[in-house]
Amino acid sequence: MLRKKLEHYIKNSELSEVDRELFLSLPLIKNNIDFLKLTLHALIHCQDTTFSQDNYKNEFGVYKLDTSLYSKAFLDTKMDVLQSQVRDLEKSVNNLMENSVLVPTFAQSFLNRSWDNATAKPIMYDVLTIIFALTDSNFRQKHLQDILNYYYDTFKIVSEKLLTIVDINDLEYHLKILIPIVKLEAISFLIQTKQNSELSVYVSDLERYFKNPLLNKEDCIEAVSKKIGTREFDLLDYRLITLDECNGHLGEYFSLVSKVKYSGKIEDLKMFVKASYRTNEYLAALANSGPSKKEDFFYRTILTQFEKCGFKSLLDFTPNCYFSRFNDVLVLEDLIELGFKNLQGDTKLNYKEFKCIFVQCAKFHTLTILLEVFLSQDSKKPVYLNDVYNNDFEDWILTEKKGVPTTPVHPKNAGPGIHALIDYFPQFSKTISKENLKQKLDEIMLVMGKKFSFQKNYRNVICHGDLYASNIMLRESACMLVDYQGLRYGLPFQDIFLALYCHGEKKVRDKYFYNLLDDYYIEMQRILNEYNLKIENIYPLDQFKAAAEYMKPYSIVLALLYLQLLIVPQDINEELGHHEKFIYYTTVGRKEYVDRLLCWEDFKIHAEGLIQDLYECFEQ
């Protein structure tokens, strides 16, 4: 069926007469991008027309690889170790097949192969099998991503039934599991048919993969090519090194070291890798409910939009992204290598450091305005990014979702902790009693999710949404914002105020609050002027100040919610490392937890200043 459909596409293509005759006369052509594209176009048609809802679940038994021939290929690997690694892969494939859309497979017959596993498979199985059979490693290094992008783009146009139930992001994720499977199957085929081409390449690829199962060689090639700006290089080796000391709440961190030969030299390139949490069920559930998807959306959609519209020079507030797989892994610029330092949760910042953060935030936020102006001019009507990407800005930190655990800073969990703090610091009550303050606090916490989202009466921008110290990196007078898992569309003050109230001592806040707002506004004005836009027409100063005052009480409360996890003594921090204790202290045992924190002087001083700010805010 695939061959017949391919012949139809060849005859009706825009190829030259010579190429058409060549493609029709030869059953298979290697390393020809036009032939591959026509084949994949035909494959999409076959997959879509033969798909049935009966294929939606795996009804074809358990997938199992024949490992009997592997001892002839993996000469440097112990067979018991290899068998264990293969079993893990089979488990992943069977899990994928159980939870994926399956389609009849055409690749093996098209490639003239007899194969025991020629039943229904995940959509990308045939795609990869055909690509790897009809290309060599050098060709794939230069063209694999373009070929895959062609498949995705054509899939969106040609498929009818499948497109309604298949997410392109899922197809990309399936590559992670299916690429090693296709290589293992190819090894068996090459041994059976006594072909040596690519055999050593596949063996080498898989030996590296089994040591670093988070990334395939093809992922590393993509990351390296983005980093050095060329595909003309040799990837000699790569390895992942766990960075235990800086693992995040919702991710596991690694250093990717790639040994690369290019431009006549051999160099070890270091990149930072962030993987979605898989080991802690609570954190994994939180990560999979939205944050990992948001970060992929930020790097692959939002930053791409900024670049396409000519704003690349303004993107120095964030590290470069070299590779992203939806809801799975990010490969980023290694900021430690550039001299930036991680900040601890209890970090206290001075005016100079805050100014640097406020200026970088102004740059980030102003990009939203520039993009919206650009898109509005192009479409000849007002365009706001919240309307374009509404679902991608949904809050998950302060909003409760059915079936998803609430975060440790959600008002339902951390609110009782603030009540305990108000009881502990009654001395600031002047014109408002502590009971009245608690009542106002409860009213605020009921609407926190809404207040940190779109506000119709003020100018909104894309916000980081989770800007405390762990998501800020500093180097002298330079600053980088990282971890865009809390991305929202709302008032810009949610970012700058969270950083200020969480990491500024009260005397610093009181002295420099309005100076920092001026610094922010001046930077926004400077950038808008560069693009011939007047800030008074977009964000007048009186509206800016009014919006800042509007967000002030909500921002203080937000800082109080966060503070309970930021300034934590070592002994309690170690307890939080145990799942049961973490769940207890961050939910039902919050008051007991805060009582223990108040024995820690650093926490008590900062909490006291924020409670005083809260009183002052309502007494004005």
Instruction: Summarize pLDDT for 549-607 with one digit per residue, the tens.
Output: 999 999 999 999 999 999 999 999 999 888 899 999 988 899 999 999 999 999 999 99
Residue 40: phi and psi, rounded to 5, are: -70, -35
Kind and range of the H or E run holding 253: strand 251-262
Note the pLDDT tens digit of each residue in 446-504. 999 999 999 999 999 999 999 999 999 999 889 999 999 999 999 999 999 999 999 99
Burial 59-71 (b: 16+ CB within 10 A, else e): eeeebebebeebe
CA dihedral 453, 458, 462, 468 (to 10 degrees): -70
> Which residue, among 470, 488, 489, has the nearest Cα to 480 in the 3D structure?
470
Given a contact cutoff of 8 angstroms between Cβ atoms, the answer to whether 469 and 502 are in contact is: yes
SS3 235: strand
- CA dist., res. 545 & res. 521, Å (int): 10
State the greatest distance between any 2 C-alpha atoms of the chain, in Å, as a whole number.
Answer: 92
Note the pLDDT tens digit of each residue in 267-317. 999 999 999 765 555 555 555 555 678 999 999 999 999 999 999 999 999
Q: Which of 169-173, 192-196, 204-208 ranks highest by mean pLDDT?
A: 204-208
SS3 122: strand
- CA dist., res. 83 & res. 155, Å (int): 36
Structure tokens at 105: 């497979």
- Residue 229 has a pLDDT of 96
Integer-rounded Cα radius of gyration of the chain: 28
Indicate the average pLDDT of the chain: 91
- Residue 247 has a pLDDT of 47
Partner residues linked to 261 by β-bridges: 234, 266
> Which residue, among 508, 272, 490, has the nearest Cα to 397 in the 3D structure?
490
